[in-house]
């Protein structure tokens, strides 16, 4: 009896070149041959050339764009697997039209909120500047801001926003929140006060963004909203870059209309080398590492392997809904 051909499996978007060592990929030896591709995303023609021969492609959330133009030129692709259960870089409807199954993974729920709180502590206590001063042979160069007794504003009180609320309460902060669908009752259940959008921006000493990127949330933090903020307030965004109007935020930071911003997400990633966020002295910026932790990567890649095995057995799991 003829044995079925082994699948050609590609693992993309491994910017740190660690995927092959996170766990044992040899469990897929009976299913297919795994290739780890380390080139950065490129133009569509280049991506087609790189990927045309693969049956299964494994990607990390929102790095390589899989749109109609690319998907339509990958005739061998049968399964696209991504870390997480959301990936705005995948045109799921186009994938379905071309007969491509799209599956995801769970996420380690603590990684993003922990990074968010690190950003809050880092920007308010000038930790990077103080550490760099010490490394350069100097000593104290500034005065940090306190959190206890201050107001923490949360834009989007979902699963991550609720963790941030708990952290703020543990630090003795007053916590307020707003989003389009948030009710006063839902906020009160976690000890948070619902306010209006304008009140959120006006009252917050720390304003942290925790919304899903959508047509409704894109650009929601605009020049008007930033103009409501205190000049002593800080904006934190570890959610998605386009929720904040980038040009408006840069203008506010340059003119010191707010005290500063701590950012882990950007409109364009990787961030261009000449981007103002790399040089503004009131910005703490990290390269989208909110989900880049040992636990999260182990969960992503182990469940990516499970997705491939389940699909190969004819019983796909964790499929994306249209």
Q: Which residues are catalytic?
A: 240, 269, 288
**For residues 148 and 168, what is the distance between their CA atoms, to the nearest angstrom?**
9
* Tokens found for residue 199: 């009140």
CB hemisphere CA count around 59 (13 angstroms): 25
The sheet with strand 32-36 has its strands ordered as 32-36, 7-11, 56-59, 79-82, 101-103
* Dihedral sign (CA 254, 257, 259, 260): negative
Of 147, 189, 243, 157, residue with least CA distance to 165:
157
DSSP E strands in 83-173: the ranges are 101-103, 151-155
- State the DSSP code for 242: G
Residue 164: is it exposed, middle or buried by C-beta count within 10 angstroms (0-12/13-18/19+)? buried
Token pair 């380390």 in the structure block, residue: 38
Decide if 172 contacts 206 (C-beta within 8 A): no
Decide if 112 contacts 291 (C-beta within 8 A): yes
Compute φ and ψ for 170, nearest 5 degrees: -65, -25
Contact partners, residue 275, CB within 8 Å, separation at least 6:
266, 268
Token pair 């199954």 in the structure block, residue: 101
**For residues 300 and 101, what is the distance between their CA atoms, to the nearest angstrom?**
17
* Dihedral sign (CA 33, 38, 39, 44): positive
Which 3 state secondary structure label does DSSP give 118? helix
């Amino acid at each position: 009896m003829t044995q079925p051909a082994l699948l050609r499996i590609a693992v993309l978007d491994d910017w740190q070149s660690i995927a092959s060592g996170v766990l044992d990929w040899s469990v897929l030896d009976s299913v297919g041959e795994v290739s780890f591709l380390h080139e950065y995303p490129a133009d569509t023609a280049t991506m087609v050339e790189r990927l045309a021969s693969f049956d299964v492609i494994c990607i990390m959330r929102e790095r390589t764009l899989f749109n109609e133009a690319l998907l339509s030129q990958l005739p061998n692709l049968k399964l696209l697997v991504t870390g997480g259960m959301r990936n705005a870089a995948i045109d799921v409807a186009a994938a379905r039209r071309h007969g491509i199954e799209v599956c995801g993974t769970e996420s380690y729920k603590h990684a993003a909120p922990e990074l968010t709180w690190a950003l809050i502590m880092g920007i308010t206590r000038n930790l990077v500047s103080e550490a760099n001063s010490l490394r350069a042979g100097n000593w104290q160069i500034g005065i940090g801001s306190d959190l206890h007794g201050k107001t923490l504003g949360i834009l989007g009180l979902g699963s991550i926003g609720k963790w941030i609320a708990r952290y703020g309460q543990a630090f003795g902060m007053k916590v307020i929140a707003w989003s389009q669908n948030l009710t006063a009752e839902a906020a009160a259940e976690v000890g948070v006060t619902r306010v209006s959008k304008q009140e959120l921006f006006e009252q917050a000493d720390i304003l942290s963004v925790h919304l899903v990127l959508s047509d409704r949330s894109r650009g929601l933090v605009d020049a008007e909203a930033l103009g409501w903020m205190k000049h002593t307030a800080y904006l934190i965004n570890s959610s998605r870059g386009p929720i904040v109007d980038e040009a408006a935020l840069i203008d506010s930071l340059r003119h010191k209309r707010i005290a500063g911003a701590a950012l882990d997400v950007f409109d364009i990633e990787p961030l261009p080398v000449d981007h103002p966020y790399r040089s503004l002295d009131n910005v703490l910026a990290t390269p989208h590492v909110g989900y880049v932790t040992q636990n999260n990567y182990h969960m992503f890649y182990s469940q990516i392997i499970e997705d491939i095995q389940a699909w190969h057995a004819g019983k796909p799991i964790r499929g994306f809904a249209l």
